[in-house]
Structure formats: C-alpha cells, structure tokens
C-alpha cells in the first residue's frame, strides 16, 4: 500500500499543469498568444481597408477610361451587366432581317420592271428578234421536208423571191413560205386587190398597192400589221429588218416613212413634185434610194432620190436626174454603191455624192428582164411576146461585159446567183456558169413562171416547184 501511494505521488508530479487543471489550460500557457493575434488583427484591419479602397478607386478609374474610349460599346456592356437579360435585342435583329429581305425583294421587283420597260422601249428587242430568227432556223433545220418537186396550188403568181433558208411566193390571194427542203412553213391569206411583196432575209412585207393595208410576216408568225392613213404606193425591206413605206399625202404628192426593226417610225421624207414607184434600202438600213416619176414640160421623166437615214433634213438627201429612161431595178452593192438597171442603160452611182461612176448602154437592144447580184447585173434582151431567140449579157465589176450567150427560146424570167445565172422559158430552164458555159438544161412539164437563185436553184411553173439539176448529175 505504501508503495502504491509513493507511485501515485510521483505520477502527479510528472503530469503537466494542463492535465492538472482539467480542460482549461493555464493562463500563462494559452492567453498570451491570443492577445498577440488580437493585437496583430487590430493593427492589420486599417491597413486592409486602405488597400481595398485603393483597389476600388483604381478599378473605378480604369472603368472610366474604358467608357471614355468606347462609350457606346462600354455603355452596352455595362448596361448588359447591370440590367437584367431581355429579348429586345433579338427582336431587333429579327426586324432588321425582315427589313433586309423586303428590301432585296423590292430591288428584284424593280430590276424586273426596269427590264420589262426597257424591252418595251426596244433596248432588247433587236436581240430578241435575232434569237427568234435563230430558233426558226434551228426548227426548220431539224424538221426537213420531203424534197422537191412540190405541187403548186397558187393561182395568179405575182412574185417569188428567195428568203433565208427558203423561198417566198406571193399570189393574188395568199403568201406561201417554203424551206429549202420543200417543207411548207406558212400560208397566209392577205386578200389584197393589187398585192406587192418586199422580202429581206427572214421578213416579208406584203402590201396593197393603192390600198391602206400592209403586213410583215416571218417564217413562223405575223410580226406587224398596219392600216395607213393614205394609199400605199410602194415599200422596201432591208436585210436587217428596216422597212420603208411610201404613201400618198395630204399636203404633198407623197411621203415616205422608214421603220426600224421594232416597227418604230424613225425617218420621214416628203416629196412635193415626184411620185415614188421603186425603193431600195441598203442591207444595214442606213441608206434609202427612191426612184420617182416626174412630169416636166409636159414630158415624163425619172428622178433618183438618195437619202442618208443617219442625217436629218436636206443635209442627208441628194437628187439625181435620170434622163430618157425608166428605172426597173436597184440594189446596193457590198462596196456601198448603188446599181440601177433602167430600160435603156445600167449605171453605178455613188450614194454619197450622186456621181455616176460607170455605165452600160443597150443601144438598139430592148431589155426584156434583168437581175442583180452584188456588183454584177444580168441583162436579157429580146422582144416581149416574140418567139424569136434572145440574148443575155452578164456585167461584172465596173459594168464591163463578163459573159454573153444567145438563147434558143423566149425567156420568161432570169436569176443571177453567186456561181451562175439561170433562164426559164415556157417549157425549158437553162443554167450557165459565170463564164457563160451551160451547166443546166431541164425540160418543164408546165409553163415556166419564175426561176430563183437561192440556196438551191428552183424553177416555179404553173403546176409545181422543182429543183434544177446540173448536167453532170443527169
């Protein structure tokens, strides 16, 4: 027992003071450190507050500088940060997109309207007409006919002329168009009492002489019809589609109106002393030649009026007197000259000056018929109604004779082409090359009417249209 007490006393002496006081440590061991921390915190709080204030001021200055540099953007960002989220910006974007779409649609509509009115004004009409002609040519090429010969059911044939890719026939009652492969393209009734025809490439003008009506047809459709105020005297059609129409007039003896390919009147000429009876336009539609009949001192004469359609008034017109003759045919050559065939001579004129540059006189020979191709002229001499043989002369450049042949039949019609010339009689058709050598001789089963030197050489008889076959292929 004594030993146990001594051990317990020794253990109490070895226990630290904290254990002797239970849970609370001695004041000397715990409180002095807490006092030091409190003092440290008391000294640090003013310093921390100063630092925070400096940071806030620095941040405020930085924000102010940003707002001054980019006020709108900074204001939007600040408002976006401070204000609550809203759908207003998205609605504004939607409205803006709708407005842009409406503006684009309005712009497209405006462009379409401008194009439409430009079309009505003729800006694109030339291109559209050209495109239409190309479509017609493609359609004709893709749908060929059965070939020649073809029966002809026209009474009282008035005229026959080549057109682009075929021929045009005008009778006393209708206009009939054929392709070069004998496919009938169109048949148009006109009902004119005294029809005349003027052809130019793909357009054909049929008019009523002494009447007030005319119409322009293409190979696929009707292009233009007009009722004139005064009776029609004559008309002409250029290769490019320009048309000239001469009528009587109230204040003058006659007036001439020139239409562009869109059938808009672009030029007027008035004749106070002459009656026009023959007109010709250049291929480009810039020049017009008019042969007029005049009465002077009780005698009839002829006057050649030359017009430059690019000039106005007297500056663009010339008058040339044609003495003791009647003009029968006219053509502008590829060199810009005017070739005129009269009943007593053939002459070449300069349209700019009216000067006669070349001439061929017939002497005592009576001109029966003639034809012109570019710078050459074919003249056929004989006596109308006579069975006696005739002769023909081919005039080359400067109206010098290039070939001469005698015929053993009465010539009804003649045609001059690029590679030869052709004559047709009542029962026979004969062709020659440009040197006068015979290349075609073909008997006809019906009375011969017309011969056409186009893409193919065609003979028109009272019953059929047939193609002339060269001798080497017979």
Fold classification of 362-474 is Methylamine Dehydrogenase; Chain H (2.130.10)
Residue 35 has pLDDT above 90, yes or no: no
Q: Which of 90-104, 242-256, 394-408 has the lowest mean pLDDT?
A: 90-104
Give the residue from 248, 244, 237 showing the smallest Cα distance to 274. Answer: 248
| pLDDT-based confidence at residue 22 (cuts at 50, 70, 90) | very low
Give the model's pLDDT for residue 472. 66
Q: Are 400 and 348 in contact (CB under 8 A)?
A: no
- Mean pLDDT score, 266-285: 94
Q: Which of 52-61, 114-123, 353-362, 441-450 has the lowest mean pLDDT?
A: 114-123
- Mean pLDDT score, 254-259: 97
Q: Which of 48-62, 195-209, 346-360 has the lowest mean pLDDT?
A: 48-62
Between 337 and 165, residue with greater pLDDT: 337
| pLDDT-based confidence at residue 322 (cuts at 50, 70, 90) | very high
Residue 67 has pLDDT above 60, yes or no: no
Of all residues in the chain, what percent carry a pLDDT higher than 70?
Answer: 76
Most confident listed range (24-38, 41-55, 443-457): 443-457
Between 146 and 53, residue with greater pLDDT: 146
Give the model's pLDDT for residue 73. 46
DSSP 139-162: HHHHS----S-EE---SSEEEEEE
Residue 76 has pLDDT above 60, yes or no: no
* Main-chain phi, psi angles of 346, to 5 degrees: -120, 135
Long-range contacts, 401-410 (Cβ 8 Å, 24+): 401/360, 402/376, 402/434, 402/435, 403/432, 403/434, 403/435, 403/436, 404/436, 405/432, 405/436, 405/438, 407/382, 410/382, 410/386
pLDDT digits (tens, 9 = 90+) for 350-388: 999 999 999 999 999 999 999 999 999 999 998 776 656
Residue 85 has pLDDT above 70, yes or no: no
Give me the residue spans of the domains in the chain: 362-474
Give the model's pLDDT for residue 155. 81
Between 101 and 449, residue with greater pLDDT: 449
Please measure the distance between the N-terminal and C-terminal CA atoms of the chain and give it in whole angstroms: 168
pLDDT digits (tens, 9 = 90+) for 205-223: 999 999 999 999 999 999 9
The pTM of the full predicted model, rounded to 2 decimals, is 0.73
Give the model's pLDDT for residue 95. 79
């Amino acid at each position: 027992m004594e030993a146990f007490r001594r051990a317990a006393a020794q253990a109490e002496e070895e226990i630290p003071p904290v254990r002797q006081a239970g849970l609370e440590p001695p004041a000397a061991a715990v409180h002095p450190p807490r006092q030091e921390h409190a003092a440290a915190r008391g000294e640090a709080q003013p310093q921390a507050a100063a630092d925070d204030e400096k940071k806030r001021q620095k941040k405020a200055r930085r924000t102010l500088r940003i707002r001054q540099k980019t006020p709108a953007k900074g204001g939007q960002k600040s408002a976006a940060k401070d204000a609550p989220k809203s759908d207003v910006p998205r609605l504004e974007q939607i409205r803006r997109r709708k407005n842009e779409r409406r503006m684009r649609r309005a712009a497209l509509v405006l462009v379409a309207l401008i194009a439409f009115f430009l079309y009505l004004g003729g800006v694109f009409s030339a291109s559209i007409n050209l495109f239409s002609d190309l479509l017609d040519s493609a359609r004709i090429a893709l749908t060929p006919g059965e070939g020649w010969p073809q029966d002809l059911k026209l009474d009282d044939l008035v005229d026959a002329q080549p057109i682009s890719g075929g021929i045009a026939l005008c009778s006393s009652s209708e206009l009939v168009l054929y392709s070069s492969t004998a496919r009938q393209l169109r048949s148009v009734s006109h009902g004119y009492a005294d029809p005349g025809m003027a052809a130019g490439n793909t357009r054909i003008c049929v008019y009523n002489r002494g009447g007030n009506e005319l119409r322009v047809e293409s190979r696929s459709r009707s292009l233009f019809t007009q009722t004139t105020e005064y009776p029609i005297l004559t008309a002409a059609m250029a290769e490019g589609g320009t048309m000239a129409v001469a009528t009587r007039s109230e204040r003058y003896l006659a007036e001439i109106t020139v239409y562009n390919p869109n059938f808009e009147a672009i030029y007027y000429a008035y004749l106070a002393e002459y009656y026009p009876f023959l007109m010709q336009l250049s291929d480009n539609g810039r020049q017009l030649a008019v042969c007029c009949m005049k009465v002077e001192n009780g005698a009839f004469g002829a006057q050649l009026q030359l017009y430059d359609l690019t000039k106005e008034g007297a500056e663009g017109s010339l008058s040339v007197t044609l003495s003791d003759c009647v003009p029968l045919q006219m053509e502008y050559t590829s060199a810009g000259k005017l070739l005129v065939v009269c009943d007593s001579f053939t002459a070449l004129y300069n349209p700019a000056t009216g000067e006669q540059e070349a001439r061929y006189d017939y002497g005592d020979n009576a001109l029966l018929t003639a034809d012109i191709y570019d710078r050459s002229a074919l003249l056929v001499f004989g006596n109308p109604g006579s069975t006696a043989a005739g002769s023909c002369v081919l005039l080359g450049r400067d109206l010098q004779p290039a070939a001469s042949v005698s015929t053993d039949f009465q010539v009804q019609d003649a045609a001059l082409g690029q590679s030869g010339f052709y004559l047709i009689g009542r029962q026979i058709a004969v062709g020659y090359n440009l040197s006068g050598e015979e290349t075609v001789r073909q008997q006809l089963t019906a009375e011969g009417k017309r011969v056409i030197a186009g893409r193919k050489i065609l003979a028109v008889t009272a019953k059929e249209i047939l193609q002339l076959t060269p001798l080497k292929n017979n």
